Structure 1
């Protein structure tokens, strides 16, 4: 049986080999990719529980096993049921009949969408899930058994696709590069092996340390003031959007995640960066420890996403907070007829101090322009 210690030890050894093969240093984006996606060992590729409901005893400060974090579809079925209104409109406007979901997690969002679209009289021709995690795929197949004839799993995008693309908390898990300004000089912050471990024998897992190297890379904006500053750039997320633009011949994409427009992302006061780890419904800022046992994320620069999309041939449908998007799509009406417990959970989707303000939705499309209901009020595209 694989124990947490043996898993992190094996993954640490694999990462140490990569560091040694690259002259003793790898960029943080390479480290993050290995920590999350190494087959069989990385966080999203091993069998540990990841998605679930909030532990009942968490408020008392007692961590409870079972999952590491809860996403909106696990929080309440009203999330997917409400999103279905926007998906239905997009399918009808673009005259397509397929949904593509990236990073489908437990399969909860897919189930909510499939059931709601079926009830609306809009059954899909196909629901395609793009997910790199074999362990999550097994869970998704169990969750979506009733729709086995509609759902398929693919490991990569085809050369062309049509339909509606969805990504809920996908961009934040894409590896980022770390840039650090120290005493006025910019460095790329990467990962090396702890020199204190040299020569040690036995079963001790390798330990990792930060190591900076001078770089020509820069944030997209000049950071005001001269204090030390740590931040991220997002080449992989932007590359993902460019690939999507290249493959999507007609349709729309809705990407939901936490983040900011560029001028907020690179604000002088946000000098510690946004990289964060999640385990057992707790957060910590140290991605170099317990590798493989916790999620590693970074906030999204939505301006960078929008620019990458436009440069590659997609247009922006809109950009707004999750709260405004869900309200535009009819969440309040659904809450009015839902049981009290469901309403309480759904409120977290739109409350400013919960998910309502920090989470944003960006809509992209290819084809003729149209007005998406999710951005009918409160569109913030002008802030990107």
Structure 2
């Protein structure tokens, strides 16, 4: 998602207040059943995915375009009605470039299916399908896995022209032969919070304190994958659920490749001593805040990805790493700059945000995985950073 504005969030409507209260009650009951405390991963799962109430399941707009020239929170909310914009909404050239990598992977692996996880508004699916059709790639079907029922409706409307080719499923088959794509999927998977206080590691969880949620830390044997130098207090995340997802994909993938795009770092940067406040962040109405306990159900909650953990989980499942690089290098390797040169100025300006360092170009990374021996994937031809994982 693009860098959010630092603005005061708009006040809650009566309907929003009702949703927050209903979700609070649900989570409060879960806390009570658990004995008064739940881990942050359990809280995050409820806040994002509780049926009918969680952020991705309650019908809010979520994804959209950043309005131009809007300088107030009210203006942003009224103009867009959304919380953040992802790369496919920012520019159709994103999907066009990624399609070249997908096409190469389909051909090299002898597969004829694309599976997309967390398809958002369907913008990326449409861009990939259009680009693959234009280049004559034979694709038997395009399969979408998405936990959000309301986003699925938006996807079906957007992809109506490919209704004969696109399918939606709720689970993975025993065996998968496909090229898998996931843009901003791993960052939305629940994480556990670890807090080092006075040299002792705790797991940070959530409790109910009278009229609101609060934090409570409990001593734990859990640790970050790297020792964090220093004696200072330190907050961070571990990504057991995201890594389990990658491991499951690897176990089921009999042929094909996986391309995951998200914001994050290799673990040597993720668990740097100076990154002592963690990476959890919330997004609402195109601006960010660090408090996931407030306005629960109305805000996206994310954490940066530990790409070393992603790679290790993939290798544990028998996959090989094709490459790892920043989004800028990946998209330029896939022909984005040449595509930009053929566009008008507004489209070039929008697409530039995908690759410039202070926007999405450096913060976002791409990792490629495959079954069997690695091959020379187009997106990692220059600027590969696998050695940093």
**TM-score when scaled to structure 2?**
0.95
Q: 2:57 aligns with which of 29, 35, 45?
A: 45
1:257 partner SS = strand
Q: Choose 116-125 or 329-338, whichever is displaced more.
A: 116-125
- SS of aligned partner of 1:190: strand
| Alignment partner, residue 196 of structure 2 | 181
- Closer, same or farther: CA 2–80 of 1 in aligned 2, 3 Å: farther
Cα distance in 2 for partners of 1:217, 1:58 equals 44
| Structure 2 partner of 1:98 | 113
1:55 to 67, 86, 96: 67
C-alpha offsets along residues 217-236 of structure 1, whole Å, 9 cap, x if unaligned?
Answer: 00011101100000000000
Residues 338-383 of structure 1 deviation map (CA, whole Å, 9 limit, x = unaligned): 1211100000000000000010000000034311010000000000
Is the Cα contact below 8 Å between 1:172 and 1:300 reproduced in 2?
Answer: yes
1:4 and 2:4 matched:
no
- Asked if the contact 1:51/1:69 (under 8 Å) is kept, the reply is yes
1:57 and 1:63 in contact (8 A); partners too: no
Aligned residue pairs total 374
Corresponding residue for residue 372 of structure 1: 377
The alpha carbon displacement at 1:188 in A equals: 0.1
Which residue is equivalent to 1:79? Answer: 94
Q: 1:311 aligns with which of 290, 309, 316?
A: 316
Match of 1:203 in 2: none
Q: Which runs of 5+ in 1 are unaligned?
A: 198-205
Which ranges of structure 2 fall in alignment gaps of 5 or more residues?
A: 1-12
Q: What SS class does the counterpart of residue 268 from structure 1 fall into?
A: coil
In structure 2, the residue matched to 1:18 is 30
The answer (yes or no) to whether the contact 1:322–1:356 under 8 Å persists in 2 is yes
Are the counterparts in 1 of residues 261 and 364 from structure 2 also a CA contact under 8 Å? yes
Report the equivalent of 1:202: none
Counterpart for residue 7 of structure 2: none
Q: Distance in 1 between matches of 2:70 and 2:299?
A: 17
Task: Return closer, same or farther for 1:286/1:83 CA change in 2, 3 Å cut-off.
Answer: same
Q: CA deviation at 1:312?
A: 1.1
Q: CA separation in 1, counterparts of 2:228 and 2:98? A: 36
Matched residues in 1 for 2:74 and 2:223: separation? 42
Spell out, residue by residue over 1:173-195, the C-alpha distance to the aligned partner (whole angstroms, 9 max, x if none). 0000000001111000000001x
2:44 matched to 1:32? yes
User: Greater CA deviation, 321-330 or 60-69?
Assistant: 60-69
Question: Which string of whole-angstrom CA distances, capped at 9 and with x for unpartnered residues, describes residues 242-287 of structure 1?
Answer: 1000110000000000000000000000000000000000000000
After the TM superposition, which of the residue ranges 327-336 and 62-71 deviates more from structure 2? 62-71
Give the CA deviation at 1:60. 5.5
Alignment of 1:258 with 2:263, yes or no, is yes
Alpha-carbon distance between aligned partners in 1 of 2:354 and 2:302, rounded to the nearest angstrom: 20
Q: 1:63 to 1:289 in 2, by over 3 A?
A: farther
- Normalised to the residue count of structure 1, the TM-score between the two structures is 0.96
